[in-house]
A and B are shown apart, each in its own frame.
Chain A
């Protein structure tokens, strides 16, 4: 197969993925329009969170009953899976075209990061029902892909020598999974703030209102979901930073040099460390922790986009001019 046709196929796959993802977005939005208020989630967590001691020992009931809008959400999920596989094909074809791991410039990082976010969401959904989160995952993925194809697009080229290392695969793969997890945690943390506000407005025992808030699980459940995602992502991010340091030592002769990219990776790490500490500090584990999770995501985005465009960095490999 000629390189040109590989390139064309990669692009077609990515555009198709964006199309199906847009349809998925409409489906998820429609599920919001149609779906009535969810049955109140189990009070289990609320009781458990009180003293950190006694806890209700039943698994939270899984809402299996068909509610209006569920169908639209299911369509959204199916379309998301389709987008995932199209995007996967696009990324793989890009890699074959370039003859290397497809992570040589910002365009390639971005399409793979989009794949990472979507992948973390879809695979988590196999274990925990996250259909209600669909809209808030699909939107950032679409934005990432949109920025990738419009601003960041570059023809495939070989790597600059510093990127020619198997650490590219290890370091970047871990970073991309983190991108997915951080983005999802930001979505659940943001929603927990919205829901929490609505819950306080409704008062104890009142009915939660609001287009978004009424369709979400309890704020406490959203917070513990955020915690769970970040408990998974934080060690992985630590590994990502360390793998980067080992690579830097190999390529540049020092494992840490406070290059802007390294600095912001460190800031991201520190903010998420603060999040985990906040989760076990009285008076901080609620909304404040959620805000910290959002701040961590902001630092991550700054590292991903900001540093490549604003600062002069050894990591300047955006490949666009």
Chain B
């Protein structure tokens, strides 16, 4: 960044490209990436918890909308976050691609000739020559070749030096690592474009078939087609759940699993399987994950005449760790229409401050607390309504009631009865297909291998040279490390290379036996 940008347009572009692909820019972009990731871990994110985002914005009327405007509740898909990582990858491409060419040529070419004088290299060794120069150089070539060095000697007419290099895999690993990162990004994008996922709540005993209309929520990438979902189906035969009853972590879930019967396609034979956390069901390219569970009280409602107008298990949504669950029952067939806003408590308790709440997630003492309404449910207005919310604008409250299983509550205005017939469980499943994840995993595995090579392999050069020292012919050994940073260990490793080379030459009889390490001072 020392020179100012040139004014001509091509010159400026070239300058800008050089700046973008410089190591300093990469460093700055890495810092920016780390920094840009932080807000998403502090502020609630729409992709994870949209309800919390709504609450947060409602609680902060000044800052909420401003932060929202700048994408702080969708950090990881916001333009500024995308800009940082795309620039980083652009800088990576600009830095790595030219180096691929350079490295390819370096790997195919021979090492450069030995320098004219080896004296200036620290640690140069001089050993008296025994035998002819040709024998010494031959011995050096053989020893280095068998140790997998790339070797060249010269001059052609009368060789006086051998130059050898190894550790090319360092740069190979480095390049493979960075290219694999690109592949990871591509496979994430691929999975995003072609993958899909959906969520569905299935009551015990009920069935699910994989079509769009059956999902409570479904989202797919740009190229994911809802028409081509794999045609599997399953029935939730039984859902078992177990909670900690000991003092430590009381109420924490200990096991939950779903016994299902599934068919890979309508014609396929029925198969039984268990879906549990960490044990998804893989079927026809998609995976079925167990992600949650809850209670579905079985409610029976009769009207004024005693006719049963509603009789079904209604999934309630858990609100806390003890499964205090809320839900709504809508009876459009009654006249006037009836609606219940209710709390299902698996282990009921009532106190002054908390009101009705559950004290343990298992159904030790279940109860249903509710307020009953009558009037117009608003279902005919054509506006889509949540099944978990009762719109009470055109309704009047009849009264408050509570029921234990088997009990019946006669509505105070005589418009009917409500019976809690019992309860069942439901399980929620996430069903997803991500065609990019296998490639991503493969790319990451290659990346780690490349990374390891690039961090642990040392690229170094050694030379053997026959030269004249005060009228005596000597063999010179020297070497350098070709890495950007050098520490004691690297230096020691290069010294070891030279030790090995010296011993090989001594074994060939062209230099004297080196002193054994014990005798060294």
Contacts and interface: CB of A to CB of B under 8 A. Distances in A.
Interface string A32-57: 00000000001011011100111111
B120 to A, nearest CB: 7
Contact of A47 (B26, B122, B280): B122
B488 A57 contact: no
B249 A281 contact: no
Q: Which of B37, B249, B440 has the most CB of A within 10 A?
A: B249
B37 A266 contact: yes
Interface stretch (A12-20, A117-125, A177-185, A267-275): A267-275
Nearest to A225: B487
A108 B305 CA distance: 62
A281 B28 CA distance: 12
Contact of A157 (B40, B246, B478): B246
B47 interface: yes
A284 B244 contact: no
Interface of B: 23-24, 26-27, 30-31, 33-34, 37-38, 40-42, 45, 47-49, 75-76, 120-124, 188, 197, 244, 246-249, 252-256, 276-280, 287, 289, 291, 430-432, 434, 437, 440-441, 444-445, 447-448, 451-452, 455-456, 478-492, 494-495, 498
Contacts of A273: 30
A159 B485 CA distance: 46
Contact of A221 (B23, B49, B249, B488): B488
A154 B122 contact: no
Contacts of A42: 488
Interface string A252-294: 1111111110011011001101101111110011000000000
Given A57-B495, A252-B291, A255-B437, A160 B485 contact: no
Interface string A157-172: 1111110110100000
Interface residues of A, number: 75
Given A56-B123, A161-B254, A239-B448, A274 B30 contact: yes
B30 A263 contact: no
B122 A299 contact: no
7 contacts: A56-B122, A161-B254, A231-B456, A242-B444, A253-B287, A257-B47, A259-B48
B122 A57 contact: yes
Contacts of A250: 278-280
Given A235-B451, A278-B27, A254 B123 contact: no
A227 B488 CA distance: 12
Q: Which of B42, B121, B486 has the most CB of A within 10 A?
A: B486
Contacts of A47: 122
Nearest to A232: B455
Contacts of B447: 238
A246 B23 contact: no
A311 interface: yes
Contacts of A160: 252-254
A263 B37 contact: yes
Contacts, number: 203
A48 B278 contact: no
Contacts of A200: none
Contact of B455 (A105, A234, A267, A312): A234
Interface string A221-233: 1001101100110
A288 B169 CA distance: 28
Interface of A: 42, 44-45, 47-49, 52-60, 105, 154-162, 164-165, 167, 221, 224-225, 227-228, 231-232, 234-235, 238-239, 242, 246-247, 249-260, 263-264, 266-267, 270-271, 273-274, 276-281, 284-285, 299, 307, 311-312, 319
Contacts of A157: 244, 246, 248-249, 252
A258 B75 CA distance: 10
B278 A251 contact: yes
Nearest to A161: B277
Contact of B448 (A167, A242, A256, A263): A242
Contact of A254 (B27, B75, B76, B432): B432
B277 A238 contact: no
Nearest to B477: A57
A255 B432 CA distance: 11
Contact of B278 (A156, A162, A221): A162
B485 A224 contact: yes
A216 to B, nearest CB: 15
A230 B46 CA distance: 35
A221 B490 CA distance: 12
A247 B34 CA distance: 23
A234 B34 CA distance: 16
A277 B123 contact: no
Contacts of B491: 44-45, 48, 55-60
Given A55-B480, A55-B486, A255-B440, A270 B33 contact: yes
B47 A258 contact: yes
B215 to A, nearest CB: 14
A58 B495 contact: yes
Contacts of B23: 277, 280-281
Given A49-B485, A277-B30, A258 B479 contact: no
Contact of A235 (B27, B38, B448): B448
B123 A52 contact: no
A224 B27 contact: no
Given A161-B276, A227-B485, A228-B489, A252 B451 contact: no
A198 to B, nearest CB: 20
A247 B490 CA distance: 37
A47 B495 CA distance: 15
B276 A55 contact: no
Nearest to B31: A274
Given A52-B486, A59-B491, A274-B27, 16 more contacts: A48-B490, A52-B481, A57-B124, A57-B495, A59-B488, A60-B491, A155-B247, A155-B248, A157-B252, A221-B487, A234-B451, A242-B444, A252-B289, A253-B287, A264-B41, A311-B42
B488 to A, nearest CB: 5
A257 B75 CA distance: 12
A152 to B, nearest CB: 13
A154 B444 CA distance: 37
Contacts of A158: 244, 254
A254 B197 contact: yes
A164 B278 contact: yes
Nearest to B452: A235
Given A44-B488, A231-B455, A54 B480 contact: yes
A227 B484 CA distance: 12
Contacts of A312: 49
B122 A246 contact: no
Given A252-B291, A258-B76, A263-B37, A228 B487 contact: yes
B437 A55 contact: no
Contacts of A252: 289, 291, 430
A220 B492 CA distance: 16
A273 B291 CA distance: 34
A312 B53 CA distance: 13
Contacts of B123: 55-58
B325 to A, nearest CB: 19
Nearest to A279: B485
A277 B451 CA distance: 13
B42 A257 contact: no
B454 to A, nearest CB: 9
A260 B484 contact: no
Nearest to B181: A273
B484 A48 contact: no
Given A227-B487, A251-B278, A274-B27, A258 B451 contact: no
